[in-house]
Each structure stands twice: as C-alpha cells, then as structure tokens.
Amino acid sequence: MTTQDERQNKLIRPSHYITMDDIIREGNPTLRGVAERVALPLSNEDILLGEKMIQFLRNSQDPVMAEKLELRAGVGLAAPQLDISKRIIALLVPSEPKFDEEGNEVPSKEDYALNTVMYNARIISHSVEEAAIATGEGCLSVDREVPGYVVRHARVTIEYYDKNSEKKKIRLKGFHSMVPQHEIDHTDGIMFYDRIDPENPWKMREGMQIID
C-alpha cells in the first residue's frame, strides 16, 4: 500500500523526472474522482509538484529529452493523472512560431504563450459560444485515438492561485482556453471523450468555433 503523500514525495525528489510510467491510464478510478482543493498558503510539496509537472511538459516538447525519456508530447498535465487527487494543473503552450520578411522562422527557444501552474483553478465565467480543436483531442492517460469534436467553451475566465499562493484571474480564448478546460476537467473526473457527441462525433454545432 502506498499513500498519496508517499507517491507525491517520490515524484518531487530532486533526482526524479516524471515519465509516462508515472501517468495513470483510463480504467484507474482516480481519473474519475473529483480532486481535492489544495491548502493555502501552498505547501512546499505542492509547489514542487507543480514545478515537476512543468518540467515534464518542457521535456515532452524537447525532441532530445522526449526521445530519451520516451515521452508523448503534452501542453498540459493535471495532478490526478499522476494519481494525486489534488486540484493542481500545469499548462505549457509554446508561442506561435514567428517569421521574418523572407519567411524564415525566427528561432525563439523558450517562448511560451502559457507557462503556468494553477492551483484550485475554476471557471468563473464563460462564453455562450462553443469551440473545438479541429483535429479533436488526445490525452496522455488514454492510449487510443478517440476521434471527434470535443465541445468546449470558446472563452473562459479562470480564477486560480499561482505558485506564490496569490489569487489570479485570467481570460483565455481559442486554443489557449482549450488546454485549461481539458485539465480542469481532469480535476473533476471528466475525460475529453465525455464531450464528444457519441451519435455523430464530427457533427458541426450551430455557431461552434473550429480551432486549427
């Protein structure tokens, strides 16, 4: 028997890199539970876990590290995916690549549109308009493809606590709003395919924005 605290203490050891072996897969009941809010001000353990989650995402997007550690690429991660039933999510979304006058890509190595750990994140308001990623979604806890539009809010306002235990509010739209919605769902036991129409997965809904 291992307790959640024991699992968290292993994950946050300085020498540990989070890999796919740390990520639980569908069928594990933790993914269907509602995660607990974290205590504030944040404990060192919860701050360190957030840092490890961001490190995982950075490694997963680095071709060399991803191959070495056999990681699938990710732009978000939620603590329940590590079998830690806490409301902690990490978001790491690279900025759009920039191009000069000749159309060459300007290398911008560490440039992120979103690079945040959110504690106790909640959607405090959202648009009536819906949106979905054109290609559908994948999940690091799901080892199969589930095709279809994952219907989400087009715009959200999220309230959360940052790594300094400070309360923040952020408005997000487009792709940037899809990532935290996928992660907040994990803290509520919701999987992306719960939001796909089972009858007609690629059915276009009235006014739904398609993000590509």
Binding-site ranges for ligand NB4 (CB under 6 A): 61, 73-78, 81, 94, 133, 137-141, 178-179, 182-183, 186
DSSP H helical ranges for the chain: 4-11, 44-60, 63-69, 175-187
At 50, give phi and psi (nearest 5°): -60, -40
The answer to whether the bond into 198 is cis (omega within 30° of 0) is no
Of the ranges 12-20, 51-59, 106-114, 131-139, which one interacts with Ni ion (CB under 5 A)? 131-139
**Any contact of residue 179 with Ni ion (CB under 5 A)?**
no
**Any contact of residue 139 with Ni ion (CB under 5 A)?**
yes
What one-character DSSP code corresponds to residue 154? S
Q: Are 73 and 66 in contact (CB under 8 A)?
A: yes
Q: Nearest distance from residue 164's CB to Ni ion, in Å? A: 26
196's contact among Ni ion, ligand NB4, none, with CB below 5 to 8 A by partner kind, is none
Which of these is catalytic: 26, 183, 199, 206?
Answer: 183
Per the DSSP assignment, residues forming a β-bridge with 172 are 156
74's contact among Ni ion, ligand NB4, none, with CB below 5 to 8 A by partner kind, is ligand NB4
**Any contact of residue 150 with Ni ion (CB under 5 A)?**
no
When the beta carbons of 155 and 165 are compared against ligand NB4, the nearer one is: 155
Between CA 26 and CA 31 the distance in angstroms is 7
Between CA 85 and CA 32 the distance in angstroms is 10
Applying CB under 5 A, the residues found at the interface with Ni ion are: 139
Active site positions, annotated: 183
